[in-house]
Structure 1
Amino acid sequence: RDEEAAQAYRDYLGREPGNLTAKINLAVVLIRQGKAAEASQTYTELLAQPDLSADEYFRIGVGLFRAEDYPRAGEAFRKALQLNPHHRDSYYNLAQTLYVRTSPLEDARAKAKGDELKKVNAELGPLYGEVRQLAEKLREYDPANRNVLALLARAYRGLGDAAADVKTGDQWKLKAVGVLTLYQEMPFEVVELSLSGAEGEVALKGTLQNLKLKQGEPIKLRLSLLGATGAAVATQEVTVPAPAAEETTTFEAKAKVQEGVAGWKYEVLP
């Protein structure tokens, strides 16, 4: 089926070579077929297109990440954020892309000594520094997500390991311990949020998991839809009864909006 789909997209692009959706979908199919090199080339061609939207850059970034082309994936997510600096998933995926790039450097550091160690640390420091900034920004949008906390803790730890002096390194590592404590003590987690909608009505749907609360205990959230400036264009408070321990439950907020929605955020209420 994937081969048939790929050929169908190629045939369509033969007639409509400028169709971005068809190119993106072709690259997705190529990834599923294990043709990462060809998919990466297709995404690279897409990345060079002018006047792409934030959503198109984001989709290209996801494809390049799956093709393990991390530098260009990062470029795509950066371009998405330049056009829409209120998109939580672009921040998260860029942070993940940068974090993945630390892995071979960490392997090199484990074997390095002297000047070579300093060189590796000089490369790791900026990567971890940007992951830190992105994870801290993510906390503004998604404060009850453990993956975000884990990214932040890894960034602090990485900055500690890469620091040029022991005192600075210890300060970063202490911050990592604080974040890990938050992670371990989190009473519940918002594990997923997504936007959908049409004709002026937008729905924000989420899933949360109970980690430490008694079943039925109320969880209060303030959900906000963000416009192009980052200001809330709609806000709604929801109360979600905690499910049984380790179980998940869903919640949803709907709103009529007069302008485009650029993103979302939520706050945990007492």
Structure 2
Amino acid sequence: MVSKLQQGIKEMQNQNFEEAAKLFTEAIDEEPKNPIGYINFGNLLLHMSDYSRAQRFFERAIELDEHAATAYFGLGNTYYEQSLYPQAQEQFSKAVETGLEEADVYFMLGMTFVHQDHHKLALPYLLRAAELDSDDVDIQFQYGLCLAQAGEIAQAKATMLKVLELESEHSDAYYNLGVIALYEENPIQALEYFDRAIEIQPEHALAANGKKQIEQVLHNDQD
């Protein structure tokens, strides 16, 4: 027999939020000491951008079970969505400490450091996320970006090339490879990467600007 929580999750996945809320409420009424009901309702409220209520549901789940790792993760997401990165960082750390070993939590923890401009501190968490989910394009891309910002250029290049293996039309990966090529003093290759980024995304302003600057330098060299 499918439980009300399982039914509620299915309704939530099908965008039937009112029906999901009804089922989660019934599940909580039937088992008020079960943190899972509060976590699911919190996730629903988070999905609907009702952050203050979502926070209360996650906190209630933690009151019932201080080892409920997914409640800390949900609470972290609630803070993250409001750009409260230090608070989000604290909750994601607790989720990891209480046993949540998933790519998403390491990724989000890494991103809280990125948003605070602590790229070197972000790296081990983004690396762990990249190891746990090697096929996730966003995780691999953000890891590559963080490597570049931390000055790890060779690794950043290898990671951006991996992004292109996963998604051959990733314009931002081509743009960043262009920037790396400039760093390596290879303007011709940089131009090729910028051209490819623009080919995929004609309105890519950063690539267009990079291309323009290289063409000016090359033109001046010819004069």
TM bucket, shorter chain: 0.5 to 0.7
- What is the number of equivalent residue pairs in this alignment? 154
Q: In the alignment, is the contact (CA less than 8 A) between 2:55 and 2:75 conserved in 1?
A: yes
Change (3 A) 1:64 1:18: farther
- CA distance in 1 between partners of 2:58 and 2:100 (Å): 22
| Cα shift readout 1:120-161 (whole Å, capped 9, x = no counterpart) | xxxx3xx22221111111111111121111111112222x2x
- Report the Cα offset of residue 90 of structure 1: 1.6
Partner secondary structure for residue 17 of structure 1? coil
Partner secondary structure for residue 168 of structure 2? coil
Equivalent position to 1:132, from 149, 153, 157: 157
Q: Which runs of 5+ in 2 are unaligned?
A: 1-49, 203-223
- Report the Cα offset of residue 20 of structure 1: 2.2
TM superposition score normalised by structure 1? 0.49
- Determine if the alignment matches structure 1 residue 91 to structure 2 residue 140: yes
- CA distance in 1 between partners of 2:81 and 2:100 (Å): 27
Q: In the alignment, is the contact (CA less than 8 A) between 1:46 and 1:60 conserved in 2?
A: no
- What residue is the counterpart of 1:146 in the other structure? 171
Matches within 5 A, 1:176-215: 176-184=190-198, 186=199, 188-189=200-201, 211=202
Change (3 A) 1:3 1:133: same
- CA distance in 2 between partners of 1:15 and 1:151 (Å): 46
Identity among equivalent positions (%) equals 13
| Cα shift readout 1:182-218 (whole Å, capped 9, x = no counterpart) | 334x2x45xxxxxxxxxxxxxxxxxxxxx5xxxxxxx
Q: In the alignment, is the contact (CA less than 8 A) between 2:171 and 2:197 conserved in 1?
A: yes
- CA distance in 1 between partners of 2:97 and 2:180 (Å): 31
Change (3 A) 1:31 1:86: closer
Change (3 A) 1:64 1:47: farther
- CA distance in 2 between partners of 1:75 and 1:49 (Å): 18
Matches within 5 A, 1:115-130: 124=151, 127-130=152-155
- CA distance in 1 between partners of 2:177 and 2:165 (Å): 13
- What residue is the counterpart of 2:8 in the other structure? none
Q: In the alignment, is the contact (CA less than 8 A) between 2:109 and 2:125 conserved in 1?
A: yes
- CA distance in 1 between partners of 2:169 and 2:56 (Å): 43
Query: Aligned AA for 1:23?
Result: Y
Change (3 A) 1:59 1:10: same
Query: What do you get for the CA RMSD once the two structures are aligned?
Result: 2.7
Q: In the alignment, is the contact (CA less than 8 A) between 1:39 and 1:67 conserved in 2?
A: no
Equivalent position to 1:4, from 53, 57, 63: 53
Between Structure 1 and Structure 2, the one with more strand by share is 1
Between Structure 1 and Structure 2, the one with more helix by share is 2
Query: Aligned AA for 2:181?
Result: Y
- Report the Cα offset of residue 33 of structure 1: 3.9
TM superposition score normalised by structure 2? 0.58
- What residue is the counterpart of 1:30 in the other structure? 79
Asked which structure has the greater CA Rg, the reply is: 2
- CA distance in 1 between partners of 2:83 and 2:100 (Å): 29
Higher relative contact order (CA 8 A, sep 6+): 1
| Cα shift readout 1:54-89 (whole Å, capped 9, x = no counterpart) | 344334434544455533432222112222323222
- What residue is the counterpart of 1:76 in the other structure? 125
Query: Aligned AA for 1:92?
Result: F
41-50 vs 8-17, which deviates more?
A: 41-50
- CA distance in 1 between partners of 2:163 and 2:188 (Å): 21
